[in-house]
Amino acid sequence: MSILPQVIFLVIFVAAGYVLYRRISFLKRNIMLGKKEERNDQPGERWKTMLLVAFGQQKMFKRWLPAFLHFLVYAGFIIINLEVAEFIIDGFTGQHRIFAPFLGGFYTFAMNAFEFLAVGVLVACVVFLIRRNITKVPRLTMKELKGWPAMDANLILIIEICLMMVILKMNAADQILASRGVEHYTQLGTLFFSSLLTPLLEGFSTSFLVFTERAAWWFHIVGILGFAIYVTYSKHLHIFLAFPNTWYSKLQPKGEMTNMPEVTNEVNMMLGIPTEGAQESPAEIGRFGAKDVNDLSWINIMNAYSCTECGRCTAECPANITGKKLSPRKIMMDVRDRAEEVGKSVDAGGKGLEDGKSLLGDYTTAEEINACTSCNACVEACPVNIDPLSIILQMRRYVAMEESGSPAQWNAMFQNMETSFSPWKFAPTDRFNWAESVKDEEIK
């Protein structure tokens, strides 16, 4: 028996592993361009959130059709990995269906289950392709998806369809060969879905079927390794990042904006309030708010890499619904694109962050962030707990505090608040006038 296939498999496997390692390091470094943020409190609540939202798909089930189809692909992905484990062991050992003799009837049952999932994934992916390209579901065809994002989405679906079809074809060829008593192939009992394909293959010679079976096997396992690498370049990264992303969810009430302690110190000094550690020289304040990716928290950037561009946020955004330029999904895509650009520049020995560009201005515009009503619809809508609002508000802080570039009407409001302690220009002494008429009335 030749060990050449095993050697080839080993080389491919190690090479894929190496590429994957490089990609993961690249992504991790990009995410860590962001500022440090500690979010390890309440581990119990965090595990619960991750189990419910990422593992349990809780937020997907707001609308049943996409949820059901997504669940098929999700369950298929998780469970078919067991079969992939067997593929890998077979690849290293030169065996075929190594678990079959140990598991007997259960193996046949498991293979049928995998086939069922494969068909489920296939059907779901076909429906997804139709939703994107034929019925054109609005949130899946918006303008920020033109070009690579639309291509990326279609590629993923087509790759998944190919991988699933190949599994079925492989099983069909495998079972014909087993029934002909060819060495190496184990008769498994009926495999429901692939047996529907056997009539197509039965007329061929044994050697052709062996070739078909082997080709399908290699296509599937190399395809999966390739797909694993492709995912790191793709919006499809959410299949892994959904888990840490939900673990690091914001657990405070959605309405709570993050405090800026560096401002508190200054405010306390101005108001003459003693603060703890006031004797120490104030820590170096980098920048108020966010202009570029490095001003954001690493969690904001991880959010961006976890975004699968489904557009549920944008579909619920009141500003977007009424035709404003703001799209929370685009904000997340902007953050990721900018982090990628900076990362690539650093790797190429380029200027990195100092390339004369920035997230705010070159990717996201003031018009977009000014349109946000901070209503939290995007945060509520995201199936993996991404928080676009946090990023929008940090950029507004930069514009207001570093550039004094807020819209004129907001600057007027700021002025009213400074002088009249109300966003409207009323005399503070009139604040209690509303009570006059009430006090004159008798209780009924």
Partner 1 sequence: MSNYKVPTMAEMAASGESPEILFWVGCAGSFDDRYKAVTQAFVKILNKVGVSFAVLGPEETCTGDPARRAGNEFLFQMQAVANIQVMNGYNIKKVVTACPHCFNTIKNEYPALGGAYEVIHHSQFLQSLINEGKIVMKGGGEFKGKKITFHDSCFLGRANNVYEAPREIIKALDVELVEMKRCRTKGLCCGAGGAQMFKEPEPGKKDINVERTEEALGTGASAIAVGCPFCLTMMADGVKNKEKENEVKVVDLAELIAKDLGLD
Is 102 or 432 the residue whose CB approaches partner 1 more closely? 432
Number of chain positions touching partner 1 (CB under 8 A): 77
- 10-19 LR contacts (CB < 8 Å, sep 24+): 10/92, 12/222, 12/225, 13/88, 13/91, 13/92, 13/225, 16/225, 16/226, 16/228, 16/229, 19/229
Using alpha carbons, select from 229, 159, 300 the residue that is nearest to residue 19.
Answer: 229
Using alpha carbons, select from 167, 168, 180, 188 the residue that is nearest to residue 208.
Answer: 180
**Residue 318 binds partner 1 (CB under 8 A):** yes
Pick the stretch among 79-87, 132-140, 224-232, 246-254 that binds partner 1 (CB under 8 A).
246-254
Q: Which two tokens stand for residue 407?
A: 């819209």
Is 189 or 407 the residue whose CB approaches partner 1 more closely? 407
Among 44, 65, 147, 424, which residue sits at the site for partner 1 (rule: CB under 8 A)?
424
**Residue 45 binds partner 1 (CB under 8 A):** no
**Residue 397 binds partner 1 (CB under 8 A):** yes
Is 340 or 380 the residue whose CB approaches partner 1 more closely? 380
Pick the stretch among 150-158, 189-197, 311-319, 331-339 that binds partner 1 (CB under 8 A).
311-319
Q: Which two tokens stand for residue 71?
A: 């669940």
CA distances from 133 to 11, 137, 151 (A): 38, 8, 11
Using alpha carbons, select from 1, 5, 189 the residue that is nearest to residue 91.
Answer: 5
Among 147, 277, 286, 323, which residue sits at the site for partner 1 (rule: CB under 8 A)?
323
CA distances from 131 to 122, 212, 225 (A): 14, 33, 27
CA distances from 347 to 29, 343, 376, 403, 444 (A): 10, 6, 36, 31, 77
Q: Provide the 8-state DSSP code for 334.
A: H
**Residue 285 binds partner 1 (CB under 8 A):** no
**Residue 190 binds partner 1 (CB under 8 A):** no
φ/ψ of residue 297, rounded to 5: -80, 155
Among 89, 126, 273, 283, which residue sits at the site for partner 1 (rule: CB under 8 A)?
273
DSSP string, 245-276: HHHT---S-TTPPPP-HHHHHHHHHHTT---T
Among 43, 102, 134, 432, which residue sits at the site for partner 1 (rule: CB under 8 A)?
432
**Could you tell me the smallest distance in angstroms from the CB atom of residue 145 to partner 1?**
20
Q: Please report, as residue ranges, which positions from 128 to 167 form the binding site for partner 1 (by CB under 8 A).
A: none
Among 3, 65, 270, 348, which residue sits at the site for partner 1 (rule: CB under 8 A)?
270
Q: What track of x and - describes contact with partner 1 for positions 344 through 373 (by CB under 8 A)?
A: -----------------------x--xxxx
**Residue 312 binds partner 1 (CB under 8 A):** no
**Residue 80 binds partner 1 (CB under 8 A):** no
Is 30 or 370 the residue whose CB approaches partner 1 more closely? 370
Is 195 or 422 the residue whose CB approaches partner 1 more closely? 422
Residue recorded with tokens 């484990």: 85
Pick the stretch among 24-32, 115-123, 183-191, 417-425 that binds partner 1 (CB under 8 A).
417-425
**Could you tell me the smallest distance in angstroms from the CB atom of residue 423 to partner 1?**
5
CA angle, corner 338, sides to 334 and 344, nearest 5? 145
Q: For residue 364, give the 3-state DSSP assignment.
A: strand
